[in-house]
Amino acid sequence: MLVLAYFYLLWKVWSIFGFWNIIWTTIVILIAIFTFEFLARARKQTGSVITYNPKEWPKFLAILVSVLLGFYLYNVLDDPSLSSIDQLFGKLYLLVFTALPSAWSLFKLIRDRNDFVRIDETTLSYKDNSDTGTYSLKDIKKVDSNGKQLFLILQSEETVIIDLKNMNFNGFDRLSLYSEISTLITPEESVAEPTADSVDTTEE
pLDDT digits (tens, 9 = 90+) for 15-43: 999 999 999 999 999 998 888 888 877 88
- pTM here is 0.76
> What confidence score (pLDDT) does residue 133 get?
95
Query: Which residues contact residue 48 at a Cβ distance below 8 angstroms, ignoring those fewer than 6 apart?
Result: 120, 121
pLDDT digits (tens, 9 = 90+) for 84-108: 999 999 999 999 999 999 999 999 9
CATH topology of domain 119-199: OB fold (Dihydrolipoamide Acetyltransferase, E2P) (2.40.50)
Residue 67 has pLDDT above 50, yes or no: yes
> Burial level of 167, CB count in 10 A (0-12/13-18/19+)?
buried
Domain segments of the chain: what residues? 2-44+55-111, 119-199
Whole-angstrom CA distances from 170 to 32, 54, 96 are 14, 8, 24
> What confidence score (pLDDT) does residue 187 get?
52
Mean per-residue pLDDT, 115-133: 93
What is the band of 3 on the pLDDT scale with cuts at 50, 70, 90? confident
> What confidence score (pLDDT) does residue 139 get?
93
Higher-pLDDT residue of 51 and 201 is 51
SS3 for 105? helix
Mean per-residue pLDDT, 43-55: 91
Give the separation between CA 102 and CA 108, rounded to whole angstroms.
10
> What confidence score (pLDDT) does residue 202 get?
46
Give the separation between CA 87 and CA 93, rounded to whole angstroms.
10
Q: Helices 57-76 and 100-111: crossing angle, nearest 10°?
A: 160
> What confidence score (pLDDT) does residue 178 get?
92
What is the band of 164 on the pLDDT scale with cuts at 50, 70, 90? very high
* Contact between residue 148 and residue 164 where contact means Cβ atoms under 8 Å apart: yes
* Contact between residue 175 and residue 201 where contact means Cβ atoms under 8 Å apart: yes
* Contact between residue 143 and residue 182 where contact means Cβ atoms under 8 Å apart: yes
> What confidence score (pLDDT) does residue 40 get?
79
What is the band of 193 on the pLDDT scale with cuts at 50, 70, 90? low
Residue 127 has pLDDT above 60, yes or no: yes
> What confidence score (pLDDT) does residue 9 get?
85
Query: Which residues contact residue 126 at a Cβ distance below 8 angstroms, ignoring those fewer than 6 apart?
Result: 115, 116, 117, 118, 132, 133, 162
